[in-house]
């Protein structure tokens, strides 16, 4: 069942208020994304985000098109962003090879046909993370590397939130239809992301937490600003953030995360900033 897709339905914030830890985890957390030799996909009805993990071993893995996608081929009406958090690998899109590793993202345009993913070394496999959203026009499939990305230095050591943000799929860097995507690395000793927190009703967001040392966890904060909840996240797990939810977190150590957004605009700064003292 490597090609199965899991469907996540929309949750009204009033329902989230009543959820216990188990229900919050079942509806919002995406686990087991990186299974050796497998493609794992989740389809969320928040902005129709598809979240996938692909770990090829000796053989390349073709990207499947589950029935939920509603098209003959995965990218017939979608775009996607791929970041590799594992060993070196490559993505082949219609015969063109894109080597992918480290701080870089591959943008895959609507209209791409055959997509297959490989690891250079099965003993150190690639771990491809992909987020895909509906797309209305064809653009240019291309790699955005760390040098091309917008780079922001945010936070401070004193508030334990010093972090470097790479904006790979960002309007100042590359044209996409609605997807924005990037990677944030916490500096050693910093543990907080996105505090003060924000919401953005115009967009949904999904976080993938990674680079977390063995035995450590991130307490991901979600919920309406005056009804916050937490989900304890392990390395390599993603969490869905509907438009009504904050998305912030504190780790028991430093970590990194990949964020991706989709919705009515691609304006990263269009956030409704919250004051820490207003959170409940």
Looking at beta carbons only, is 122 or 271 nearer to Zn ion?
A: 271
Using the rule CB under 6 A, which residue among 38, 165, 218, 246 binds ligand D54? 165
Q: Based on CB atoms, which residue is closest to ligand D54, 95 or 188?
A: 188
Binding residues for Zn(2+) are 198, 200, 205, 247
Residue 194 to residue 167: CA distance in whole angstroms = 15
C-alpha 38, offset from chain centre:
18
Q: Which of ligand D54, Zn ion, none does residue 109 bind to, with CB < 5 to 8 Å depending on kind? A: none
Residues 247, 249, 262, 263: which binds ligand D54 (CB under 6 A)?
A: 247
Helix (H, G, I), strand (E, B) or coil at 199: strand
Gap between the terminal Cα atoms of the chain:
42
69 or 260: whose CB is closer to ligand D54?
Answer: 260
The least CB distance from residue 261 to Zn ion, in Å, is: 7
- Number of chain positions touching Zn ion (CB under 5 A): 1
Residue 49 or 165: which CB sits closer to ligand D54? 165
| 183-222 footprint of ligand D54 as x/- string (CB under 6 A) | -x--------xx----------x-----------------
Cβ pair 253, 235 in contact under 8 A: no
Restricting to residues 171-230, name those near Zn ion by CB under 5 A: 205
| Torsion of Cα atoms, 58 then 62 then 63 then 66, to 10° | -120
Q: C-beta of 176: minimal distance to ligand D54 in Å?
A: 15
* Minimum distance, C-beta of residue 268 to Zn ion, in the bound complex (Å): 8
Count the helix, strand and coil residues of the chain and give each as a percent rounded to the nearest 5.
10, 45, 50
Residues 6+ apart with CB under 8 A from 26: none
Q: How far apart are CA 33 and CA 29, in angstroms?
A: 11
CA distance 114 to 213: 35
Structure tokens at 39: 């493609």
User: Binding residue for ligand D54 (CB under 6 A) from 78, 163, 217, 266?
Assistant: 163
Cβ nearer to ligand D54, comparing 98 with 255: 255
Rounded least distance, CB 62 to Zn ion, Å: 32
For the beta carbon of residue 181, count every other beta carbon within 10 angstroms. 27
- What is the contact surface with Zn ion in residues (CB under 5 A)? 205
């Amino acid at each position: 069942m490597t090609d199965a897709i899991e469907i996540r339905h929309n949750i009204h914030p009033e329902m989230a208020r009543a959820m216990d830890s188990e229900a919050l985890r079942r509806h919002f957390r995406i686990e087991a994304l990186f299974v050796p030799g497998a493609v794992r996909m989740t389809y969320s009805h928040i902005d129709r985000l598809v979240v996938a993990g692909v770990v090829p071993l000796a053989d390349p893995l073709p990207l499947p098109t589950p029935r939920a996608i509603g098209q003959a081929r995965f990218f017939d009406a979608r775009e996607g962003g791929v970041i590799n958090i594992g060993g070196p690998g490559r993505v082949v899109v219609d015969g063109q090879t894109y080597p992918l590793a480290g701080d870089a993202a591959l943008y895959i345009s609507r209209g791409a046909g055959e997509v297959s993913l490989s690891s250079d070394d099965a003993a150190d496999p690639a771990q491809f993370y992909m987020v895909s959203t509906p797309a209305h026009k064809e653009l240019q499939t291309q790699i955005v590397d760390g040098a091309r990305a917008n780079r922001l230095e945010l936070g401070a050591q004193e508030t334990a939130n010093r972090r470097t943000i790479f904006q790979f799929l960002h309007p100042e860097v590359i044209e996409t239809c609605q997807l924005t995507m990037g990677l944030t690395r916490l500096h050693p000793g910093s543990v907080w992301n996105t505090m003060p927190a924000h919401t953005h009703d115009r967009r949904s967001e999904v976080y993938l937490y990674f680079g977390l040392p063995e035995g450590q966890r991130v307490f991901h904060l979600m919920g309406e600003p005056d009804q916050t909840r937490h989900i304890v996240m392990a390395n390599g797990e993603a969490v869905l953030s509907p438009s009504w939810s904050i998305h912030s977190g504190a780790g028991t150590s430093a970590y990194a995360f990949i964020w991706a957004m989709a919705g009515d605009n691609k304006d990263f700064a269009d956030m409704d900033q919250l004051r820490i003292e207003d959170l409940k």
